[in-house]
Amino acid sequence: MSRPTSRVLTLLELLQSGGLRTIAELADRLDVDKRTVRRYVEHLNDLDVPVESVRGRYGGYRLAPSYRLPPLMLSDDEALAVLLGLIAGQRTGLATATDTASETAAAKIRRALPPHVARRLDAVTESLAFTQPSAGSGTPDAAVLLAVADAVRHRRPVSMRYTDREGRSSRRTLHPYGIVAHSGRWYLTGHDPGLGEDRTFRLDRVADARTQPGTFEAPDGPDAAQRLLSGLASAPYRHEVTLRINGTAEQIRARLPASVATLHEPTPATDADLAARPEYWPRVELRAEHLDWLPPALASLDLPFKIERPAELREMVAAFADRLAGSARRD
Rounded Cα distance, 144 and 209, in Å: 5
Query: What are the strands, taking DSSP E only, across 41-196?
Result: 51-54, 60-63, 158-163, 169-182, 185-192
Average pLDDT over residues 93-116: 68
- Residue 258 has a pLDDT of 82
Class of domain 142-229 (CATH, top level): mainly beta
> What's the full length of the chain, in residues?
331
- Residues 134 and 138: their CA atoms lie apart, in Å, by 10
* Residue scoring higher pLDDT (108 or 2): 108
- Predicted confidence (pLDDT) at residue 3 exceeds the cutoff of 70: no
Cα(282)–Cα(152) distance, rounded to whole angstroms? 36
**CATH number given to 239-329:** 3.30.70
Contact 300, 254 (CB under 8 A): no
Question: If we measure between CA atoms, which residue out of 225, 151, 131, 134 comes closest to residue 182?
Answer: 225
Q: Is the pLDDT of residue 1 over 50?
A: no
How far apart are alpha carbons 198 and 243 in whole angstroms?
27
**Residue 250: in which H helix or E strand, if any?**
helix 249-253
- Segment 160-212, tens digit of pLDDT: 999 987 888 999 999 999 888 876 778 888 889 988 888 888 888 998 899 99
- Per-residue confidence (pLDDT) for residue 331, from 0 to 100: 64
Which of 146, 142, 175 shows the shortest CA–CA distance to 159?
A: 175
* Neighbour order of strands in the sheet with 261-264: 261-264, 283-288, 239-245, 305-309
More confident residue, 264 or 228: 264
Nearest of 25, 14, 79 to residue 49 by alpha carbon: 14
The more confidently predicted of residues 39 and 237 is 39
At residue 209, what is the residue type?
A: A
CATH architecture of 4-63: Orthogonal Bundle (1.10)
pLDDT at 271: 65
**Better pLDDT: 80 or 38:** 38
> What does the alpha-carbon distance between residue 273 and residue 254 come to, in Å, rounded to a whole number?
27
253 touches 245 (CB < 8 A) = no
Is 42's pLDDT higher than 50? yes
Q: How would residue 319 be classed by pLDDT, with cut points 50, 70 and 90?
A: very high
Q: Residue 118: its pLDDT value, please?
A: 77
Q: How far apart are CA 99 and CA 86, in angstroms?
A: 10
Residue 92: the pLDDT is 62
Domain boundaries, the chain: 4-63, 76-127, 142-229, 239-329
Per mean pLDDT, which of 228-232, 235-239, 246-250 is the most reliable? 246-250
Instruction: Please indicate whether residue 226 or residue 151 has the higher confidence score (pLDDT).
Output: 151
Amino acid at 86: L
How far is Cα 15 from Cα 5, in angstroms, rounded to an integer?
16
242/240 Cα distance (integer angstroms): 7
Residue, of 214 and 59, whose pLDDT is higher? 214
Find the range with the poorest average confidence among 26-35, 83-92, 98-107, 200-209: 98-107
The pLDDT of residue 298 is: 92
What radius of gyration do the chain's Cα atoms show? 28
122-170 pLDDT per residue, tens: 777 777 766 655 555 567 787 888 888 889 889 999 999 999 878 889 9
